Amino acid sequence: MITLKINYKKKHPFVVETLEQIEETKREVKAEISSVIQSLKVREKSIMDNISSYEKRIKDLPDAEKRLAELTRETGVQQSAYSSLLEKKQEFEIMKASQIGNVWVVDSATPGKRTKPRPKRNIMLALIVGLVMGIGLAFFLEYLDNTVKSPDDLKQVTERPLLGSIAKFDTQAGKNGGELITHTMPKANISEAFRTIRTNIFFASFDTPKKIIGVTSSLPGEGKSFFVANLAVSIAQAEKKVLLIDADMRRPRLHRIFNQKRIPGLSNLIMAKDVENAAEGVIRTLPEQRIDVIYAGDIPHNPNELLGSQKMKSIIDLISVKYDYILFDGSPVLSVSDSVVLTNQLDGIIFVVQAEKTEKNALKQALEMVPDEKILGLALNNINIQRDGYYYRYYYQYYYSYDDQDQGVGRKKKHLRKKRVESRRQARQSATRNADKSARMTADKNHGGQTRAAT
């Protein structure tokens, strides 16, 4: 249509004809739609009439007929269910009757001896079984435990001497001193244990002096830093000039024990150009503990190479002339090889073994990595004196508790003297009573003889 309007004028015959056809088509469509609508209305009216008719018929039915229809339907359902159950019952009875049993009565049951529970016997049996199982489980767990717990276990691993044993101790008991027990609590049991280790080290180096000593362990967390710090303080208390060096440049810890800054330290000293001048700024003097300390310093990426360098050897030669003892806190042997490299520049090395943690196989492997002539001995740390028998309890509670003994020695001597005097007095009284009794018996005997003679 648009094309016709563009090409022809409005009154052109083709345009007029086309417009007439369009109008004719519209009229036909409208007529068809009207016819369909009329037909639907007629159908709707018919359906509504049917619905009204049915509703009227339902309303006309009596209530009794409705109830009868409902009951009839329900009766049919119940009858069907009953018939099904009855059929199943008959099938089950037939199946039961067709089975041939293989059980028969041999003797009729007769009442026998009465039984009743025995609580005492049952409790005793339960206690015995529980005790045996508990002991067996304890022995089994002990068998599976491969850790070092006592000096006897160390003898099974190595023949190296035991320098001493450190009892389990809560570092919080040191209060402000923390882990420096030998400084804050010099009369404690652990302080005396460190003095014993110090004495053993002195005797071990009596013929061949060993003044440059390293302290290490098999694995981390065995208390080597705690041990070397207290050992240094203990040696200083013996009027020795001590230098403590933190050579564990991977996980340094000595600066935390002494509550000081880690930098500058050993790594800075090794990398310094002028070692002599740098040493003065690196060495820290601790007047209270009477020791000098060199901390780890900056954490290097190559601590193994630094410790094994020629410069490290020259540093040791430089500072060794100023001190009686130089103690190194080394890295764990099985974790890294720093301590093994450092061993070549030491006079000796001490292995710290933590009780109930260090495994025997790990300790044996660690000892094999260090030359035998370099090992001064072992120190058993964190030992449980309550677990390992009377000997250790006696060792720590009686022998090491000299402070309490010093305070009570006067009272003890006075008590013993009083006891001896009392014993002597009782002995004299007993002797006097026995003599009087013998005299009376002799007098009675003589009197009886004289009476018989007179008769």
Cβ atoms of 340 and 369 within 8 Å: the answer is yes
The pLDDT of residue 351 is: 92
The pLDDT of residue 393 is: 45
> Is residue 146 helix, strand or coil?
coil
> Is residue 285 helix, strand or coil?
strand
DSSP 344: T
What does each of the 455 residues of the chain score in pLDDT, given as a tens digit? 566 556 666 666 777 777 888 888 888 888 888 888 888 888 888 888 888 887 777 776 667 677 788 888 889 889 988 898 888 888 888 877 776 666 666 777 777 666 777 888 889 999 999 999 988 888 887 777 778 888 888 888 888 888 888 888 765 544 445 788 888 888 888 888 899 999 888 887 667 778 899 999 998 988 899 999 999 999 999 889 999 999 988 899 898 988 888 888 888 888 888 888 888 888 898 888 889 999 998 888 888 888 888 888 888 888 888 898 999 999 999 888 888 888 888 989 999 998 888 888 888 888 889 888 888 889 998 887 766 543 444 444 444 444 444 444 455 555 666 666 676 666 666 666 665 555 555 555 454 444 444 43
Cβ atoms of 350 and 380 within 8 Å: the answer is no
Kind and range of the H or E element at 291?
strand 291-294
Strand partners, 351: 216, 378
Strand pairing report for 291-294 and 284-286 = antiparallel
The pLDDT of residue 391 is: 45
Closest CA to 240 of 210, 271, 220: 210
The pLDDT of residue 214 is: 92
Closest CA to 166 of 183, 184, 151, 147: 151
Strand partners, 380: 165, 353
Kind and range of the H or E element at 354?
strand 348-354
Kind and range of the H or E element at 383?
strand 375-383
Give the separation between CA 447 and CA 455, rounded to whole angstroms.
13
> Is residue 407 helix, strand or coil?
helix
The pLDDT of residue 174 is: 44
Burial (CB count <10 Å: 0-12, 13-18, 19+), residue 130: exposed
Q: Is the dihedral of CA 96, 102, 103, 105 positive or negative?
A: positive
Instruction: Return all residues near 334 (Cβ < 8 A) that are at least 6 apart.
Output: 218, 219, 362, 365, 366, 369
Give the separation between CA 343 and CA 348, rounded to whole angstroms.
7
The pLDDT of residue 352 is: 92
The pLDDT of residue 128 is: 92
The pLDDT of residue 414 is: 57
The pLDDT of residue 387 is: 62
Angular region, 34: left φ>0, alpha ψ -120 to 50, beta rest: alpha
Give the separation between CA 222 and CA 355, rounded to whole angstroms.
9
Q: Rounded to a whole number, what is the largest CA-CA distance in the chain? A: 201
Residue 152 Cα distances to 77, 156, 329, angstroms: 89, 7, 26
Strand partners, 353: 380
Q: Is this prediction's pTM over 0.85?
A: no
Residue 122 Cα distances to 128, 131, 224, angstroms: 10, 14, 53
The pLDDT of residue 415 is: 61
Phi, psi dihedrals of residue 72, rounded to the nearest 5°: -65, -45
